[in-house]
Structure 1
Amino acid sequence: MLFIFSAGGLKDVRHYLDNEQNETYLQALVYGELSYVLRNNAGELEKQEYVTEIQDRLGELWAGLLISRDGEITSVAPFLQQASPHEDWKQLLEEPPKAAAFNSFRYETSEMNLTYPDGGEGKAVLLRRIDTVPIYWRPVGTLFSLAFICLTSLLLTYFVSRSIIRPIKKLEAAALQIKDGDLTHKVVATTRGEIGQLSIAFEDMRVRLKHSIDQSLQYEENRKMLLSHISHDLKTPISAIKGYVEGIMDGIANTDEKRIRYMETIYRKASDMDQLIDELFLFSKLDLQTVAFDFKVIDMSRYMEHFLDEQRFDLEKSGVRLIYENSGMHPTMIAADPDKLSRVLTNILNNCIKYMGQQLEESRKEIHVRLKELDEHILVEIEDSGPGIEKEDLPYIFDRFYRAEQSRNSETGGSGLGLAIVKQIIEGHGGMVWAENAEKSGARFCMKLPKSMLVKAVDDHEEHTNH
């Protein structure tokens, strides 16, 4: 619509309305002047210069004059001739209508009878245009405006539906699916802006909620497995204790030697139960992250020397040779809890001893402990000469209650919590632990512990000073 106004030379709608109102006013002024001349001095119409001037002035105002004398037309306005070249002006002058239409414009007529100075009779008819636009422009313009408004409304409705309503409908469908417990359908952001951000936030909520539910289901499954394993691991020694007690009560152990052997077995089974309960209690606290770590900055090299010296005597009684390999490392400081770290090393050594115990008596039984310094970590390797670990068992040996010995024999497989406790403690130190098979034979357990931040700062300072 602005383009139409501009093409028509109208810069402002108010300018257009002012022209329409002023045109009628100016036409009235000229007609008033002409009426005065015709009534008082009709002889002026016999002057060609005056008539031409009047016709030009009226033509500028979209009006024209028809003049006759004694029934003959003496002057027709050029404006009217241009508006209707083939019009019968004589007939229109004899019977002037109240309104006429030329070239799609409406005209209003005003007639006046006059008398020339010589007594001749004459008539003057003024036709002035009362429309600033063609007759059909107003209804066509109205229809065009309505069509434009309808089309704009349809387009706006379409774009609003596409950019707002449809995404909101998708979010509504996703919300209903989530309400029904279905968290598998991904919410895709199809638009940008606020609706797109809402879709992204909704998808993030769905992912987090699904992860939370999956985690809860996994925890529930773990609790069921925990109860199952605890029931099995406690029932076996309890059944054995009951059997030996009944043997004593029934008099089967009828000698002092048998009674002593029965009592030693009962004590050993009770000790196994006590150890299992202790490990289960520690693992539960580690899993719930309720164990407080007492971190201290320690020299890992000296710590390993003292710890292995304490363990060497007990290992030699079991026929296991302990070899500590420390390639002349300078003090390597780490932030660790000495008690928890001792528990980690003890569990790994016990695991090595149990599986090496399944070998023949004449087999070589050795445990090699290596300490290596990396850029930002300390690597501890514990390698035994046992039978090694089956490849299918390697990814799972640090899981709770997992045993490579599927018979779940506590004499050989342990409680199934020792290595799980190792993993929890090492991760609590900000490190990582894994297992692999050695090149020749045996299993190798690797622990990577981060260096103390204080030590790294000192090393960086020394390196900068050397440069």
Structure 2
Amino acid sequence: MTIRRKLYLSYIAMVFVPMFAIVVFSLAFLYVSGQTDFRAYWRGEKNLPYRQAFTIGELNEALQHRPDTLEKPDEWTEMFAKLGEVSAGVIVMRGGQVIQVSPYLKQLGPHHDWARLAEERPEYVNLRLYRFKTESLPFHYSDGTAGQAVIVWRYDSVPFFWHPIFGMAVCILIGLTMALMTYMMSRSIIRPIQSLNRSALLMKEGDLTRRIDTRAKGEIGELGKTLEEMRVRLKASIDQTLQYEENRKMLLSNISHDLKTPISAIRGYVEGISDGIANTEEMRGRYMETIKRKAADMDKLIDELFLYSKLDLHALPFDWKTVDLMRYLIHLAEESRFDLEASGISLHVEQLADRKEPLYVTADPQYLSRVFSNIFDNSVKYMTARPSAEANPEIRVSVYDHGTQALIIIQDNGPGIEEEALPHIFDRFYRAEKSRNSDLGGSGLGLAIVKQIVEGLGGSVWAENGVDGGARFCISLPAASGKDGDSH
């Protein structure tokens, strides 16, 4: 619920809740008073002043024109009954003495001094919690004796204390309603804002681990969701920055290690030549060949570091081409087959089954070639280090059409990949061996470069172990809709 709607509802409640409470209180009071037909009661109370005036006028007419007839008991009984029906009574005096008091007044005040009331004739008098009004009607009896009738009739329809109590009750109800609405508003608005303020202070102090409560509705809930999203993004950014810093330190450490090893070897062989240890042409030639190989390894490492850094910074522009994938792989196999066969490994490219049309992908042919050569190098490295005695070493490349994606699977029959290493083999400088001094060599950047290039081409790459053993590398690339532009 929005804050505006909450305010509107609180204003409406402040108006109607007291009114409803007053109505309920009034009905309860009437019920306790013995009134069951409330409409008849209010109708009777509304017409009571007119009935009182008519009955008092009838009494006045009788007193002025036929006062002697009222001395008869039956006449007074009838008149007293009429007055009682309209909540009125009369005190009759003759010669200054009270001779009649209507039963209605006696019932209201059994011990009241009616003679004193008749003499003082106050304008208002309180009887049984109600306010009554008095009026004097002078007349003369037939023998000339002065008479006087003091009419006492109920002036208010409710007890005299009702008005101040009613006013106080209304004020109390309005005050309670306002206090309740204020409490509810503070609970639904101020508390969530205070919670958000505490969370913002924690974020200010650098604590981004505590989740911000977003259960509130309306504008405050939206604000909480925005702050929570900001917290998550800030935390991710800081974590990424810390990870980058950690990776930078690790990168420097790995580069130092991988460069120091061949440099130390080169230095040792140079010192061997200069100190005369290599004292024959054959030994000097072998030393020089080792120095050349170590220098080539350093050059390759620096080249891969340079390529990886450009890929990581997204600073490497791709030369996009529309590539006939099968034709490209057959051509690539012809170029790579010689080097692989020199290592005793055969390479096979399986034709795309159930498809007569070419399968096109949009890619950079040069860097796509780097992807395959790095994967081939990885397979060769492990297959030659731990050859299988049961089968001839081979690499098979298969292509599958998955609609909008072209799937390329490179399967070897080597030793496979350890399960705990599968999630990490595309990380930079990661080697499946426990020691970086392994005889298998490698910079640890080959598969990391594969991942960077494939993702830069809009695809994905993952590794798994084959069902019958060996490592399987899967590359998924977006398929092109047709032969657009140059085809390779």
How far is the alpha carbon of 1:346 from its aligned partner? 0.6
Q: What residue number does 1:389 align with?
A: 417
Instruction: Tell me: CA distance 1:97–1:409, structure 2 relative to 1, closer, same or farther (3 Å).
Output: same
Determine whether 1:340 maps to 2:364.
no
Q: What residue number does 1:228 align with?
A: 253
1:309 and 1:322 map into 2 onto residues whose CA distance is: 9
Equivalent position amino acid for 1:297 in 2: T
1:326 aligned counterpart, secondary structure: coil
Q: What residue number does 1:458 align with?
A: none
Determine whether 1:447 maps to 2:464.
no
2:304 and 2:290 map into 1 onto residues whose CA distance is: 21
How far is the alpha carbon of 1:269 from its aligned partner? 1.9
User: Equivalences for 1:78-117 in 2 at 5 Å?
Assistant: 89-90=114-115, 92-97=117-122, 99-111=124-136, 113-116=138-141
Equivalent position amino acid for 1:378 in 2: A
Q: What residue number does 1:406 align with?
A: 434
Moved more, 362-371 or 226-235: 362-371
2:161 and 2:281 map into 1 onto residues whose CA distance is: 130
Q: What residue number does 2:385 align with?
A: 358
**Kept after mapping to 2: 8 A contact 1:334/1:451:** yes
Moved more, 131-140 or 336-345: 131-140
**Kept after mapping to 2: 8 A contact 1:66/1:75:** yes
How far is the alpha carbon of 1:402 from its aligned partner? 0.4
1:62 and 1:418 map into 2 onto residues whose CA distance is: 111
User: Equivalences for 1:39-438 in 2 at 5 Å?
Assistant: 42-43=64-65, 65-71=90-96, 89-90=114-115, 92-97=117-122, 99-111=124-136, 113-116=138-141, 118-127=143-152, 129-328=154-353, 329-330=355-356, 331-359=358-386, 364-409=392-437, 412-438=440-466
Instruction: Tell me: CA distance 1:81–1:125, structure 2 relative to 1, closer, same or farther (3 Å).
Output: same
2:314 and 2:298 map into 1 onto residues whose CA distance is: 24
1:420 and 1:84 map into 2 onto residues whose CA distance is: 109
Equivalent position amino acid for 2:337 in 1: R
Unaligned runs of 5+ in 1: 456-467
2:67 and 2:78 map into 1 onto residues whose CA distance is: 11
2:246 aligned counterpart, secondary structure: helix
Higher relative contact order (CA 8 A, sep 6+): 2
**Kept after mapping to 2: 8 A contact 1:383/1:445:** yes
Q: Describe the superposition over 1:291-338 as per-residue Cα deviations: whole angstroms up to 9, x where unpaired.
A: 222322211010101111111122222332222221554311112221
1:256 and 1:175 map into 2 onto residues whose CA distance is: 76
2:143 and 2:387 map into 1 onto residues whose CA distance is: 159
How far is the alpha carbon of 1:155 from its aligned partner? 2.4
Instruction: Tell me: CA distance 1:219–1:124, structure 2 relative to 1, closer, same or farther (3 Å).
Output: same
**Kept after mapping to 2: 8 A contact 1:45/1:51:** no
2:350 aligned counterpart, secondary structure: strand
1:413 aligned counterpart, secondary structure: coil
What TM-score, normalized by structure 1, do the two folds share? Answer: 0.79
1:400 aligned counterpart, secondary structure: coil
**Kept after mapping to 1: 8 A contact 2:212/2:227:** yes
1:202 and 1:52 map into 2 onto residues whose CA distance is: 86
2:440 aligned counterpart, secondary structure: helix
1:114 and 1:441 map into 2 onto residues whose CA distance is: 133
Instruction: Tell me: CA distance 1:404–1:102, structure 2 relative to 1, closer, same or farther (3 Å).
Output: same
Instruction: Tell me: CA distance 1:104–1:219, structure 2 relative to 1, closer, same or farther (3 Å).
Output: same
Unaligned runs of 5+ in 2: 1-17, 31-36, 484-488
2:327 aligned counterpart, secondary structure: helix
Q: How many residues align?
A: 445
2:361 and 2:68 map into 1 onto residues whose CA distance is: 125
Instruction: Tell me: CA distance 1:59–1:296, structure 2 relative to 1, closer, same or farther (3 Å).
Output: farther
Q: What residue number does 2:11 align with?
A: none
How far is the alpha carbon of 1:198 from its aligned partner? 2.6
1:301 and 1:62 map into 2 onto residues whose CA distance is: 114
2:431 aligned counterpart, secondary structure: coil
Q: What residue number does 1:460 align with?
A: none
Q: What residue number does 2:8 align with?
A: none
2:170 aligned counterpart, secondary structure: helix
What TM-score, normalized by structure 2, do the two folds share? Answer: 0.76
1:332 and 1:47 map into 2 onto residues whose CA distance is: 130
How far is the alpha carbon of 1:174 from its aligned partner? 2.1
